[in-house]
Chain A
Amino acid sequence: MNQIVDVLIIGSGASGAAVAWSLAGTRMKILCLEQGDWVKQSDFPSNGRDWEARRYGDFDISPNRRARPTDYPVNDDNSPMKVANFNGVGGGTIMYTAHFPRMHPSDFRVRSLDGVADDWPVDYAMLEPFFAENDRMMGVSGLAGDPAYPPKQLPMPPLPLGKTGTRYARAMNKLGWHWWPSDSTIATTEYDGRAQCINLGHCTPGCAQGAKASTDITYWPHAIRAGVELRPRCRVREITTNEHGMASGAIYYDADGVERFQPAEMVILACNGIGTPRLLLNSASSRFPNGLANSSGLVGKNLMLHPWPQVRGYIDERVDGDRAPMLSLWSKEFYETDPARDFVRGYTLQFHRGTGVVNEAITSAAVGRLPWGQDHHRVYRDLVYRRLQIGIACEDLPEEHNRVTLDPVLKDSHGIPAPRIDYTISENTRRMMEHGIARAEEILTAAGANNLYTSRTILNSPGHLLGTARMGIDPERSVVNEWGRCHDVKNLFIVDGSIWVTSGGVNPTSTIQALALYIADSIKQRLATLFD
């Protein structure tokens, strides 16, 4: 049997890495089990001529399509949006765009401000020092002075505007709408051992240059040097509990498929908004018949996925295409609730630089805009490197019928029941989506684009898995308390996106990590009385 550890962290992605690093200073014995492998920079697609094709293969964002031995399947048939994730050291940060907005102050107080959903038990001011610490650890580029946010300083200058950004900027100024260079975890200078971005493009499926911050190259080297053990290729089946109802460790399968038990004094879940409820539900026992930490019945419920329409158009000159990081600008013009609109809450507009040669052909053909025959060549040349595209990051509010359960049939390669998601887009969100689509069309038109096309729900978008083990003060209305400890199991913590109360209209990684650092700090402050 393995030796007992003080802290067992399950999952090495955005939150697991941050909490491991933060707790390392306590000198506790810390172990992280990760179901995936280390990924080498030389494995990433941008090393080879088939870089675009591999996004539809072993670097697809869908675990169902990617189907690596380290992936688990997800039944997402009953959802218009499909699950995206990555299973490996670094988790979803291996496969994200590196767009790194924080939640806004209003996002934590939606009940008080807008009369919907619930307020969070924490707020922006409480998290602010952890946002800053995380920006330093991940290495964030950006520009101070954004009027959409309280003041903040970023460690590196912003990504360049480029030709595409300049086109958007002029259009936004013509309309008089807010825009600003995005916070991004792409290094614009050498930073903490990372090389400077050289504009490989294709940042989402990993950065061969190592300029994109994923936790395998940011937090983990520091945590491992500080004594944390990271054990890859270990897939956890269930959290075990003892006669006192406390977590006692985890049963997992090692790289050889051998079942093992890892005892622990404390367990921290960092498996994302799908993996965490799956594990809690798979940890049902006679004492916890509805799943571990589920006396509220809310484990798996309130799944939020961020509906993300995309509008694209084409201009009369070649711009940057895929020859630079995909996202570098945002607009918060429509982020805050406006009573004049027919929906509450709001969205971020994200401005894409364009796409690659192969992907332009594939995506245009898929929507019937690239003909067969002689005319193919002329039409294609009017598309390639001329695309402008705007993504609309919509806040979806928590609804209990949007949920993760265990699929009665589907299992992973170890025979562990797989998750099933049931998800619908609410009427409020639909109205928000249509508002955003109309604004995106105005922007593209102002930028001189034509041949507009809208995708209301793009498949596999966007991998933001939130809300399925929400935090709160009331044990009947939440799964974890205001510092991440499960109400039902006092040595079990959750630090990933599943603890979110609402979703905001931003990419979540920055806030997930700030929350994880805040929870780690709360643990450190309470070490003497942690399980009381």
Chain B
Amino acid sequence: MRTDPKTMLSPAESRDLRCVAGMMIPPSAAFGVPGADDAAIFADITASLGRDFADVRQALGALAALSGGAFADLDEARRAAVAEAFQARGGAALVTLTRVILQCYYRDDRVVRSLDLEPRPPFPKGHMLEQGDWSLLDPVRARPKMWRDVPPR
């Protein structure tokens, strides 16, 4: 398959992205959720880079530079140390990388269900909202006027 290097990550970049996604959000048996490196979630991430592609590539470049090569090839201890340094450095590219992972992870059906929510768009079903107790306003209703009178022009 031919890929466009301006819009598609290289295999090495893709491997590093998947690895960092899994470190950011690992699977959890306790909560019954996959990690962000899950195949379906990762496919969503790479398909959703769009206008964030350049920032993500820049972040992955910084990660590779900190790693002295491929981040995914480091041993576990070294990966943890590099990931910590990567986060400590911060920057706009890291914020973008984090966002693209989170926005795909938290719309995965399995993850959404684990939060006791329905995996669906808001429209057309909407949501129910309780009216609440309007008698709570009674002490405010009893207040004198608060606006200032203005002098005549």
Contacts and interface: CB of A to CB of B under 8 A. Distances in A.
Tell me, yes or no, whether A binds B: yes
Given A332-B146, A358-B107, A57 B132 contact: no
Contacts of B127: 198-201, 323-324
B26 A373 contact: yes
Nearest to A333: B146
A57 B122 contact: no
15 contacts: A49-B120, A50-B107, A52-B107, A53-B48, A67-B51, A109-B150, A180-B140, A208-B123, A335-B146, A361-B103, A362-B99, A365-B102, A366-B99, A372-B25, A377-B30
Interface in B89-105: 95, 98-99, 102-105
Contacts of A208: 122-124
Interface string B102-126: 1111110000100101011111111
Contacts of A173: 136, 139-140
B74 to A, nearest CB: 15
B33 to A, nearest CB: 7
A166 interface: yes
A199 B48 contact: no
B133 A200 contact: no
Contacts of B149: 105
B98 A179 contact: no
Secondary structure at the A interface, as helix, strand, loop or mixed, is loop
Given A199-B129, A209-B126, A336-B147, A361 B106 contact: yes
Given A51-B121, A323-B127, A324-B127, A106 B33 contact: no
Interface in A161-190: 161-163, 165-166, 169-170, 172-173, 176, 178-181
B54 interface: no
Contact of A166 (B28, B133, B140, B153): B133
Nearest to B108: A49
A208 B124 CA distance: 8
A53 B103 contact: yes
Contact of B115 (A148, A166, A357): A357
A374 B119 CA distance: 23
Contacts of A260: none
B34 to A, nearest CB: 11
A362 to B, nearest CB: 5
B19 interface: no
Contact of B102 (A48, A201, A361, A377): A361
Contact of A376 (B25, B95, B122): B25
Interface string A78-90: 0000000000000
A141 to B, nearest CB: 13
B24 interface: yes
A26 interface: no
B146 A178 contact: yes
Given A48-B121, A109-B151, A173-B139, 19 more contacts: A47-B121, A67-B51, A104-B148, A105-B150, A123-B153, A147-B145, A160-B131, A161-B136, A162-B130, A166-B132, A170-B136, A320-B129, A332-B146, A365-B98, A366-B95, A373-B26, A376-B26, A377-B30, A381-B31
A46 interface: yes
A108 B153 CA distance: 11
Nearest 6 pairs between A and B by C-beta? A161-B132, A198-B126, A323-B127, A200-B122, A208-B123, A199-B127
A149 B31 CA distance: 49
A75 to B, nearest CB: 17
B145 A362 contact: no
Contacts of B144: 147
A57 B133 contact: no
Contacts of B121: 46-49, 51
A387 interface: no
A332 B123 CA distance: 33
A530 interface: no
Contacts of A372: 23-25, 83, 87
B146 A336 contact: yes
B136 A105 contact: no
A160 B150 contact: no
A112 interface: yes
Interface residues of B, number: 56
Contacts of A105: 147-150
B60 to A, nearest CB: 16
A124 B122 contact: no
A362 B103 contact: yes
Interface residues of A, number: 68
Interface of A: 44, 46-53, 56-57, 67, 104-106, 108-109, 112-113, 123-124, 143, 145, 147-150, 160-163, 165-166, 169-170, 172-173, 176, 178-181, 198-202, 208-209, 320, 323-324, 332, 335-336, 357-358, 361-362, 365-366, 372-374, 376-377, 381, 384
A323 B99 contact: no
A201 B83 CA distance: 35
A165 B31 CA distance: 30
A166 B136 contact: yes
A162 B104 CA distance: 29
Given A50-B107, A166-B136, A357-B117, A377 B31 contact: yes
Which of A57, A181, A376 has the most CB atoms of chain B within a 10 A radius of its CB? A376
B148 A366 contact: no
A339 B50 CA distance: 53
A113 B152 CA distance: 11
Contacts of A108: 150
A202 B28 contact: no
Contacts of A163: 130, 132
A160 B23 contact: no
Contacts of B148: 104-106, 113, 336
A104 B148 CA distance: 8
A302 B115 CA distance: 48
Contacts of B132: 160-163, 165-166, 169
A430 to B, nearest CB: 24
A420 B77 CA distance: 48
Given A163-B130, A208-B122, A148 B102 contact: no
Contacts of B119: 49
A147 B140 contact: yes
Contacts of B106: 52, 357-358, 361
